[in-house]
Amino acid sequence: MERFLLDVAHLLAGGLVLTSFMLLYQTRMSSLLAVFALQAVVLTLSVAWQAHVQNAPHLYITAGIALVLKAIIIPYALSRVVRSLGIHRSIETVGGIGPTMLAGMGCVALSMVVMLKATATANPLAREDLAFALSVVLLGLLMMVTRRNAVSQIVGFMSIENGLILAAAGAKGMPLVVEISVAFSVLVAFIVIGVFLFRIRERFDSVELQALDDFRGERR
Amino acid sequence: MSWPPLFPLPIDPATAILLIPAIGVLLLVGLPSYKLGSRFNVLFAFATFLSSLYLLVERPPLGRYLFVDDLNIVFIVLGGFVAVTTSVFSASYIGHELETGRLTPTNQRFYHAMYQALIFSMNLALLANNIGLMWVAIELATMTTVLMVGMYRTHAALEAAWKYFILGSVGIALALFGTILVYMAAQPVLGEGYDSMVWTTLVAKAHELSPDLLNVAFVFLMLGYGTKVGLAPLHAWLPDAHAEGPTPISAVLSGLLLNVALYAVLRFKMLLSANPNAIAPGPLMVVLGLVSLIFAAFMLYRRRDIKRMFAYSSIEHMGIITFAFGMGGPLANFAGLLHMTMHSLTKSAIFFAVGHIAQVKGTQRLAEIRGLTESHPALGWGLVIGVVAIAGMPPLGIFMSEFLVVSSTFARQPLLAVPLVFGLMVGFGALMLRLTQVAFGEPSGGMAPVEASYVPLYSHLALVVGAGIYLPGPLVAWFQNVARLLG
């Protein structure tokens, strides 16, 4: 039974890493948001499973927030932003998909090496969760670096956040997990509202060098 | 150090310095009048500062969520003082912005409420006895400043706010991962639940925690909170946020928020130092500090915007302070604390001067500002004193702290002193070069007199000049005590 609990947790956490890889190779905005919603569902399942295994009912709240906010409301709101602001439907990437995927594999290998070594004495359930969580965080960072447009940067940031929620849920008995997930949700809501209100369209559309020069305050 | 209480207070001062700004937020968000709003803003900041002074006299008992020790009092009192003077400066600054129509009355209501929210979140971060609570407070502080940086709604301001937001959020995310790892390290020793996130218990049991996990955690915490300190190469948000937001916010960012992030780093450094098997946190801080110092010193030469230039100077000084704390030991820690205090006072004074300059001249471009000491003597000479102080000329306060940093480095690691002195010299040259252009020569631009009080500017400068000549004994004793605490 112990073994089974561990295997399912392992499977779900691994699924989260897999969806992070899927985010890396999306080239269309709509599919990017769909994959992100899928990742949020996997996160929900994973957190709910941790709640079940650890017998920690408050984690179900975190799982619920992930499901409602990140799997439904935010992808829907962002796709409306994409439509209403007329943002390009395809995503510009820095470097190709191939090198990015290779770098992503490097990130996962790195986090396995670092975390499994550092947590040799910890509880195996938490240990693997943590290693996978770090992979998701690093892949999210990689996505933020390789994407130029703001919506995909937001998606990258939210996938980092998914990794953190996974880590916090895996750390047995960690207090404030619910509070932290609420704080993060407020943060994300801020971004989405900010995008709506400010309509920084240029930011979403192009990265002209001229705009960047202005931005650095080097205008003449 | 504590004295018997002078008179009983209805609530303890630690609660007061959180409660007062919290009430301030609720009240100021509903005040439509600018005059009342700015006055109440000053009043609330002043009341918070007074309560923080009361902490010196009477300390509340150690709590599970809040605690006060010799280290965080320094940050709280310094922050409280800068918050008061900045609120006085901001009253005249925002008044001018409303007249010229750059801000609307709705903006000012929002601005004053956010100002109090910022004071609240910074005090919460400093008082927190729980690493999770501290993280939430620093996130809140980031949010409020993001909103204020983007307040002018110009393209450049929104870009700056966006950049600050994204980089700040990534930093905050990395810091959270580090926080979770610290909890993971503490959980086998301290058990599940709150105890494993409480500072005082963590430090007491630090030697039993798993060193491997602490090492990894510190790397994340250093990078995460280091982003908020503005250390190169994670500094990219800082110049934009300083240049495009309202000037009082630049003063608060440089004078307070960077210190709060540094405080978080210092706390975790103490945790690692208390564990004999963990890596020494010093070298990482020394490297990041030196890189920031030298990088920012060179960047100072190419700046065309006056606020952006002083933002790079903040990166330079945060580099020096991080370097000093990274070196560790009583003398270097003392120098770091003193430098942090002096930098907060001087840099916010400079931003007060720069705010008035940008308003009378109608521009932030360095090339268009000339001969300030002729057109506006009080303002011009204020800026001269501030820049001379920040560049590290004797006998002002920053010279003394920089001298202590350099001499303690020479005594222990002479090789490290070479890049340190080199960076200081490069930065000094850049600041002097710009200062002569801006302050002297034929005046240019707007000649209208400044309709504002010089009290905030000159009170800071007086403290900096005074500290360079004479440091009061109790302050020295206090800082020495804290320096020992920092290890």
Burial of B298 from C-beta contacts in 10 A (0-12 / 13-18 / 19+): middle
DSSP three-state, residue B365: strand
CA distance B465 to B472: 13
Beta strands in chain A (DSSP E): none
pLDDT reported for residue A69: 87
CB atoms within 10 A of CB A47: 29
- Mean pLDDT across B337-357: 94
Q: Is residue B177 part of a domain?
A: no
Instruction: Provide the pLDDT confidence category of residue A198 given band limits of 50, 70 and 90.
Output: low
Mean pLDDT confidence for A103-129 = 86
Q: Rounded to an integer, what distance in angstroms lies between the CA atom of residue B321 and that of residue B341? A: 10
Asked if residue B169 is part of any domain, the answer here is: no
B163 touches B236 (CB < 8 A): yes
- 3-state secondary structure at position B4: coil
Residue B115 CA to residue B111 CA, distance in Å, equals 6
**Does residue B457 sit in helix, strand or coil?**
helix
Distances (CA, A) of A31 to A91, A98, A193, B48, B188: 11, 18, 22, 51, 43
Averaged pLDDT for residues A25-30: 87
> N- to C-terminal Cα distance for chain A?
69
- Which long-range contacts link B295-303 to residues 24+ away (Cβ below 8 Å)? B295/B232, B295/B233, B296/B232, B296/B235, B296/B427, B297/B423, B297/B424, B297/B426, B297/B427, B297/B430, B298/B426, B300/B426, B300/B427, B300/B430, B300/B431, B300/B434, B301/B430, B301/B433, B303/B366, B303/B434
In a domain, B396, yes or no: yes
Smallest CA–CA distance, residue B316 to chain A, in Å, is 18
The pLDDT of residue B272 = 92
* Residue B6 vs residue B135, higher pLDDT: B135
Taking an 8 Å cut-off on Cβ atoms, the answer to whether B193 and A130 are in contact is no
Distance CA A37, CA B261 (A): 33
Model confidence at B399: pLDDT above 60: yes
Domain span at B474: 280-487
Instruction: Flag the least confident range among A59-63, A85-89, B435-439.
Output: A85-89
Rounded CA gap, A121 and A84, in Å? 52
pLDDT grade for A94, boundaries at 50, 70 and 90: confident
Query: Which of A53, A59, A123, A187 to mutate to test binding with chain B, by most B CBs within 10 Å of its CB?
Result: A187
Find the mean pLDDT for residues A25-40: 92
pLDDT the model gives residue B461: 94
Residue B191, in any domain of the structure: no
Q: Which two tokens stand for residue B39?
A: 């006055």
Residue A150: its chain B contacts at CB < 8 A? 162
If pLDDT is split at 50, 70 and 90, which confidence band does A37 have? very high
Domains in chain B, number: 1
Chain A: residue whose CA lies nearest to B192? A173
CA distance A97 to A87: 21
Task: Give the pLDDT score at B237.
Answer: 93
Which ipTM score applies to this complex? 0.87
Asked if B156's CB is within 8 angstroms of A175's CB, the reply is no
The mean predicted confidence, pLDDT, of chain A is 82
B58 located within any domain: no
**What pLDDT digit, counting tens, does each position of B138-173 carry?**
988 998 898 889 888 788 888 888 889 888 888 999
Chain mean pLDDT for chain B = 90
Q: Which of B159, B194, B227, B301 to mutate to test the interface with A (most CBs of A within 10 A)?
A: B159
Q: How close is the nearest chain A Cα to the Cα of B193, in Å? A: 5
Interchain CB distance below 8 Å, A141 and B170? yes
